[in-house]
Amino acid sequence: MTTCVDDEKLLDVLELSRESGDPKYDVVAVAPDLTVEDAYRLQIGLKKRLAAKGDRHVGYRVSFTSRAGMAFAADLGLISREASLGPITPMFSSLSASNLAGEDRIVRRLPNRDLVTEAEVVFIMDKPLAGPGVTAAMAHSAVAAVYPGFDVAQSEKGLIEKLRNSKERKMTGITGFVSLHGLASMCTPEDTTIVLGTQPSSPLLDLRTEGLVISVDGRPRVSGCSFETLGGPLNSIVWLANELAKYGARLEPGQIVITGTPVFPPSLEPGIRIVTAEFTRLGSVTVVVEN
């Protein structure tokens, strides 16, 4: 970051943004030379601040992990068609306790927000895992259990359509879906809720061929295979542990890692909706979406 702005000042801006929702609190306005690496460092720093105030850091979400996601980004014009055929480029978000759903597994759709329910494999860590140099075998031995889960994401209403129609598409790759301010500040309780199933499964399962079917109000809508997630969900942990090492962070015991959805979620019509993901061996997870 070439702009001489203290990280603590930028974290103050991020906290004000989180508390007020006012778009005038934008770290990019304060530090116009902010980079992706700066944004990630600030994101981790913000979660530490929140944890010190009682909202503990519970883990990470890995996104943009499938070929379908790359193709979708190309359709929006966020990355080139050639880039969409190249290496998959994930991104991570740090999760706080306030991002976890309650025991009722109810998520309320906020006004003027679009909501999607992404079914994903979720790992619970048993041991610390620090990069660089983490391998699949190392990640496997550091996992305590596996759960079915949902990442319920809410975004500005019409954002995808806005991106699709935009004539100014300067963001590419990892920042294709969010601004650098967004990357530094995610995830707020308003934009991300994580829902876990009730029954853990053995960490010894090979999840590359784990299938899933997503149903809305009892009607199957979409299906897929977990291999689409970086060749298997465990690879999300490998990527994440090695990526966190760049920022002096590591995965800790008890933290969750939600690994990315292998399929695009079905659209949800207005009203109360019951969304269920049934996995081949992991069981099922259900979320109730209310307006």
pLDDT per residue over 154-166, tens digit each? 877 765 565 555 5
Q: What token pair was written down for 156?
A: 């500005």
Q: What token pair was written down for 162?
A: 């806005």
The percentage of the chain sitting over the pLDDT mark of 70, rounded to a whole number, equals 88
The answer, yes or no, to whether residue 10 has pLDDT greater than 90, is: yes
Cβ 30 vs Cβ 9: under 8 Å = yes
The answer, as to whether pTM is greater than 0.85, is yes
Confidence of residue 50 (pLDDT cuts 50, 70, 90): very high
Q: Mean per-residue pLDDT for 27-36?
A: 93
Is residue 15 classed as helix, strand or coil in its secondary structure?
helix
Q: What angle do CA 190, 191, 197 make, to 5 degrees?
A: 95
Architecture per CATH, domain 56-290, reads as Alpha-Beta Complex (3.90)
Mean pLDDT of the chain: 89
pLDDT per residue over 80-109, tens digit each? 778 778 888 888 999 999 999 999 999 999
Would you state the pLDDT for residue 76? 56
Per-domain boundaries in the chain = 56-290
Q: What is the DSSP letter of 99?
A: G
pLDDT per residue over 169-215, tens digit each? 444 444 445 678 988 998 899 889 999 999 999 999 999 999 999 99
Is residue 176 classed as helix, strand or coil in its secondary structure?
coil
pLDDT per residue over 237-283, tens digit each? 999 999 999 999 999 999 999 999 998 888 888 889 999 999 999 99
Q: Which residues contact 4 (CB under 8 A, 6 or more apart)?
A: none
User: How far is Cα 259 from Cα 234, in angstroms, rounded to an integer?
Assistant: 8
Q: Greatest CA span in the chain, whole angstroms?
A: 55
The answer, yes or no, to whether residue 6 has pLDDT greater than 50, is: yes
Would you state the pLDDT for residue 167? 46
Helical H segments across the chain, by residue range: 7-20, 27-30, 36-52, 67-75, 81-84, 136-141, 159-165, 180-185, 234-244
